[in-house]
């Protein structure tokens, strides 16, 4: 069981009086008094935690609560300010990720960091290529070991395929397989299912259960409570850098976890969808694309002030549809009408000039400038608005950034913070703020709450609904079925590049969405 501070034990009642935290022999990892600050901002405040051998521990908390920071301190990516780490009873302090890996701790990060031009095999053995007696890289051995690894995990993948040509879900599975290949004692999984389909999640959970049976411990960071209750033995909650709760999953419930995470109770997961859609404002007619994955004869209308959901399995064509509307992908045929005017966007810039905005699925790959600060990332899409004569007004840019920080409740020190200093969820809020500065009329959102905690999700939902009430039209892609059913007026279901049906949200259910998503498979 995970150990808590005396104050937290008293607050939560997680550990009954007299109950021991576990014997020395069954503890694989022990963290004692871990602290970490960035400038004046204390991110971790004397964290005490034990992880038992052969268990799966869930780690939850709002964005910015300190989850990823704690794991990065464990992994050697960050150096802790105070505290001790014990692995198998011996104190360790890793100089970096390579040091952690060599000592039996692997981590799969939420944001994938792979060599996209290299093959699956190259990425699997990166930094540890086997060599033969001549000192030459043994590619035959690499392919053999990789094939055995993926076969044992039940994953089908083309070992010679460049990573760039693979879907996000396939790349995620490859990264998990790489972590497993190190024969680690502890594997940290940071939001591993954020880009996986339902069957892939089930396959991942099967893998995790097998690893657990072999005595391997897993730390599972996730915002998806249903998954935590399904796969984890225990769950710990961080809030504002403090460990506020630890319990066996069987002894807690969703409402208690939410209250521990956000410091208050959320009676409903979704706010009321009380917008009133108007007349048709966007019409997609017989849209098809040239390049794989193909879209085939997509036709639908969206109303002004409507929240139109797009659901389907990963690879069904939802992202491709948004990108085609936004001018990123080339159309083979079909037309897009906005306000009854034919639109023929050749690029995203033209779409933006006509009042379109798009939040992409992979924020670090194509949503943010990682070497910039909050001001740069908030204002970059609307620079003309901040001109003072021929030059840019730094004062206007900082005021705009400060406004969006307040509107989005972004956790940061100020507009001059580097974007990489923020948690994933707070980075997502910056992306929202960037587009809100342009006051878009059509807002395309691809997995807008991916990797965002339950409290921040609720704020995003409220924002989406308020935008719709103001007359903005929103098309939102989501892989989370409760979410797509909770915040939309209508839902279009994609299946293998086709639109298999459109349903009224209030009149449908999960079974119908699943049936439609499998129609053309």
pLDDT top residue among 478 and 265: 478
CA–CA separation, 192 and 209 (whole Å): 15
Instruction: Give the contacts of 494 (CB within 8 A, at least 6 positions apart).
Output: 310, 311, 312, 316, 317, 318, 321, 500, 517
CA–CA separation, 8 and 347 (whole Å): 53
Angle at 80 between CA 75 and CA 84, to 5 degrees: 85
Question: What pLDDT score does 147 carry?
Answer: 92
**Average pLDDT of span 72-81:** 91
CA–CA separation, 241 and 66 (whole Å): 5
Q: Where in the chain is the domain with CATH 3.40.50.300?
A: 6-104+184-262, 268-355+440-521
* Tokens found for residue 189: 């999984």
pLDDT top residue among 200 and 370: 370
Of 133-147, 183-197, 279-293, 363-377, least confident by mean pLDDT is 183-197
Question: What pLDDT score does 194 carry?
Answer: 73
Report whether pLDDT(108) > 50. yes
* C-alpha closest to that of 209 among 194, 226, 230, 190: 230
Whole-angstrom CA distances from 153 to 194, 200, 205, 460 are: 19, 11, 11, 36
256 with 297: CB under 8 angstroms? Answer: no
Domain 268-355+440-521 has CATH 3.30.70.20: no
SS3 349: helix
Domain 6-104+184-262 has CATH 3.40.50.300: yes
* C-alpha closest to that of 466 among 437, 445, 487: 487
361 with 171: CB under 8 angstroms? Answer: no
The pLDDT tens digits for 405-428 are 998 888 888 999 999 888 777 888
**Average pLDDT of span 247-271:** 83
pLDDT over 90 percentage in the chain: 51
The pLDDT tens digits for 207-256 are 889 889 989 999 999 888 889 999 999 999 998 889 998 899 999 998 88
What counts of helices (H) and strands (E) characterise the chain?
Answer: 18, 22
Confidence grade of residue 146 (pLDDT, cut at 50, 70, 90): very high
């Amino acid at each position: 069981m995970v150990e808590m501070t005396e104050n937290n034990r008293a607050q939560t009642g997680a550990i009954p009086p007299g109950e021991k935290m576990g014997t020395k022999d069954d503890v694989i990892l022990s963290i004692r008094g871990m602290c970490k600050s960035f400038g004046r901002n204390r991110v971790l405040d004397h964290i005490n935690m034990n992880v038992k051998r052969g268990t799966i521990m869930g780690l939850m908390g709002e964005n910015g609560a300190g989850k990823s920071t704690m794991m990065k301190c464990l992994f050697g990516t960050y150096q802790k300010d105070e505290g001790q780490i014990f692995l198998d009873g011996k104190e360790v302090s890793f100089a970096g990720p390579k040091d952690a890996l060599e000592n039996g701790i692997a981590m799969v990060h939420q944001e994938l960091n792979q060599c996209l031009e290299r093959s699956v095999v190259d990425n699997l053995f990166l930094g540890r290529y086997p060599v033969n007696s001549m000192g030459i890289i043994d590619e035959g051995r690499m392919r053999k070991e990789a094939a055995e690894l993926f076969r044992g995990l039940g994953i089908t993948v083309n070992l010679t395929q460049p990573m760039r040509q693979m879907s996000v879900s396939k790349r995620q599975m490859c990264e998990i397989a790489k972590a497993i290949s190190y024969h680690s004692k502890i594997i940290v999984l940071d939001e591993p299912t954020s880009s996986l389909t339902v069957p892939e999640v089930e396959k991942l959970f099967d893998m995790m259960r097998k690893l657990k049976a072999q005595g391997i411990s897993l730390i599972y960071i996730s915002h998806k409570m249903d998954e935590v209750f399904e796969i984890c033995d225990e769950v710990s909650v961080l809030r504002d850098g403090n460990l506020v709760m630890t319990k066996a999953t069987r002894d807690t419930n969703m409402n208690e976890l939410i209250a521990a995470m956000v410091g208050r109770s959320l009676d409903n997961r979704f706010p009321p969808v009380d917008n009133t859609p108007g007349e048709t404002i966007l019409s997609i007619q017989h849209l098809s694309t040239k390049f794989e994955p193909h879209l085939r004869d997509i036709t639908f209308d969206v109303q002004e002030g409507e929240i139109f959901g797009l659901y389907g399995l990963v690879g069904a064509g939802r992202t491709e549809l948004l990108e085609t509307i936004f001018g990123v992908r080339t159309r083979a045929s079909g037309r897009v009408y906005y306000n009854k005017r034919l639109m023929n966007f050749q690029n995203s810039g033209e779409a933006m000039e006509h009042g379109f905005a798009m939040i992409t699925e992979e924020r670090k790959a194509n949503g943010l400038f990682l070497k910039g600060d909050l001001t740069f990332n908030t204002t970059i899409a609307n620079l003309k608005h901040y001109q003072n004569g021929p030059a840019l007004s730094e004062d206007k840019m900082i005021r705009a950034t400060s406004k969006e920080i307040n509107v989005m409740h972004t956790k940061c020190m100020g507009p001059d913070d580097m974007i990489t200093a923020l948690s994933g969820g707070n980075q997502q809020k910056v992306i929202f703020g960037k587009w809100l500065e342009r006051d878009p009329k059509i807002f395309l959102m691809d997995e807008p709450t991916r990797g965002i905690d339950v409290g921040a999700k609720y704020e995003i939902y409220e924002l989406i609904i308020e935008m719709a009430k103001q007359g903005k039209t929103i098309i939102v892609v989501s892989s989370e079925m409760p979410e797509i059913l909770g915040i939309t007026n209508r839902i279009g279901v994609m299946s293998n590049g086709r639109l298999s049906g459109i349903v009224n949200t209030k009149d449908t259910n999960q079974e119908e969405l699943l049936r439609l998503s499998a129609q053309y498979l």
